[in-house]
Amino acid sequence: MSLLIATLAIGLVFGVLALGIYLSFRVYQLPDITADGSFPLGAAITARLLRDGVDPVTATIAGMAGGALAGAITGAIHVHFKVNALLSGILVMTALYSVNLHIMGASNVPIRANTIFTPFEQGATAWLGQETSILGRSVPSSDLGLLLATTIVVGVAGILLMLFLKTELGAAMRATGDNARMLRALGTSTDRMTILGLALSNALVALSGSLFAQMQAFADAQMGIGVIVLGLASVILGQTLIGPVRSIALAIIGAVMGAVLFRLLVAIAIRMGLDANDLKLVTAVVVLAAIVGPNWLKSIARKRGKHAPT
């Protein structure tokens, strides 16, 4: 039970990541690999600031701001220098590796100070005592506080993102991904929209990294590897859960649910004996299958249909 709650909490933190990837991949139709750098960037900035005695909320927001800057740089390289979007992301991601090492001063920084989760953990302990019984099993109350905190964060982030996408600016961003030519004809710089969108996407990714580091009590330069694929897996899984919907709210809920479900599946797979080293390989294969599979099945169905005796 304790494992389940911890898994859910991590899943929700990755839900924030999924929101960021939803924005770049689904709204802009642009798989932005900057995420592999901005996730640890958020973690690094937060870990460093917490070590320096900065309060957790400021440290978390600073991490987000760092991610926003990284995303804006990717966007600027892409639109101003006409560099392919993937390559822009790869360049920034690679550069961020060094930046992150500089920020942390080492490849791994432990977090010993109070985190953004501490008040929730302490509050839950004070209210419910050290242990709480759920369905007859005893769990540490602090884990429940953690779960509540992550639920609040992902809920607030999701609702804000949904409201934002319904504003003039947010709708202009959606139109940029949908039909950039139209938006230019309507007098909006799609360059600016792309930079802003990638900034927002990476701010969410960095927030996720910051929260993940605070939850795990360390930041690591390597923690970003495969983050984009993990995010894509969540978004695609969420889409499969919800079905092909046009509603933004449902798509956002789907992305978060996808992240949580993916985390659960991973926990179950490892419990059932999957070597943790194979995790990234399996994730990549799952994402590939989810992207290629539907079309492949359709084409098989078509061929069958064609050759079927009448």
Partner 1 sequence: MLRLDSVCKTFNPGTANEVRALANVTIQLAPESFTVVIGTNGSGKSTLQGAISGAFDLDHGSITVDDADITRWPEHRRAHLIGRVFQDPFAGTAPGLTVAENLALASKRGKWRTLAPLLRGARRGEWKDLLAQIGLGLENRLDDPIGLLSGGQRQSITLLMATLTSPKVLLLDEHTAALDPRSAELVISLTTRLVAHSSATTVMVTHSMQQAATLGDRLIAMHRGKVYLDVSGVQKQHLTESELLALFSQMRRDDRFDDDACALVAGQYR
Interacting positions 175-204 with partner 1 (CB under 8 A): 175, 177-179, 181-190, 193
Shortest gap between Cβ of 153 and partner 1 (angstroms)? 21
Measured CA to CA, the distance from residue 161 to residue 163 in angstroms comes to 6
Q: How far is the CB of 206 from partner 1 (least distance, A)?
A: 21
> Smallest distance, Å, CB 174 to partner 1?
6
Size of the site for partner 1 (CB under 8 A): 26
The mark string for 228-247 relative to partner 1 (x by CB under 8 A, - otherwise) is ------------------x-
Q: Which residues of 100-120 are buried (b: 16+ CB within 10 A; e: fewer)?
A: beebbeeeebebebebbbbeb
Comparison of 162 and 256: residue with beta carbon closer to partner 1: 162
The residue (of 164 and 218) whose beta carbon lies closer to partner 1 is 164
Based on CB atoms, which residue is closest to partner 1, 82 or 306? 82
CA atoms within 13 A on the CB side of 221: 15
Instruction: Compare residues 51 and 184 and give the one whose CB is closer to partner 1.
Output: 184
Closest distance to partner 1 from the beta carbon of 255 (Å) = 16
CB of 32 to partner 1, least distance (A): 19
- Dist. CA 298–CA 236, nearest whole Å: 18
CB of 194 to partner 1, least distance (A): 13
Site for partner 1 in 116-175 (CB under 8 A): 163-164, 166-172, 174-175
Q: Applying CB under 8 A, does 278 fall inside the site for partner 1?
A: no
Please state the closest distance from residue 268 (CB atom) to partner 1, in A: 35
N residues, the chain: 310
Instruction: Identify whether the C-beta of residue 262 lies closer than 8 Å to the C-beta of residue 11.
Output: yes
Distance separating alpha carbons of residues 305 and 218, to the nearest angstrom: 55
Q: Which is nearer to partner 1, 188 or 210 (CB)?
A: 188
Contact pattern for partner 1 over residues 23 through 62, marking x by CB under 8 A:
----------------------------------------
Measured from the Cβ of residue 303, the count of other Cβ atoms closer than 10 Å reads 10
Interface characters, 244-263, with partner 1 (x: CB under 8 A)? --x-----------------
Q: How far, in Å, CA of 123 to CA of 34, rounded?
A: 36
Contacts of residue 189, defined as CB under 8 A and 6 or more positions apart, other chains included, come to none
Task: Quickly count: other Cβ atoms within 10 Å of residue 34's Cβ.
Answer: 35
* Helix axis angle, 248-271 to 227-242, nearest 10°: 110
User: Residues 6 or more apart from 46 whose CB is under 8 A from it?
Assistant: 56, 59, 60, 62, 63, 111, 209, 210, 213, 214, 219
**Interacting residues toward partner 1 by CB under 8 A:** 163-164, 166-172, 174-175, 177-179, 181-190, 193, 246
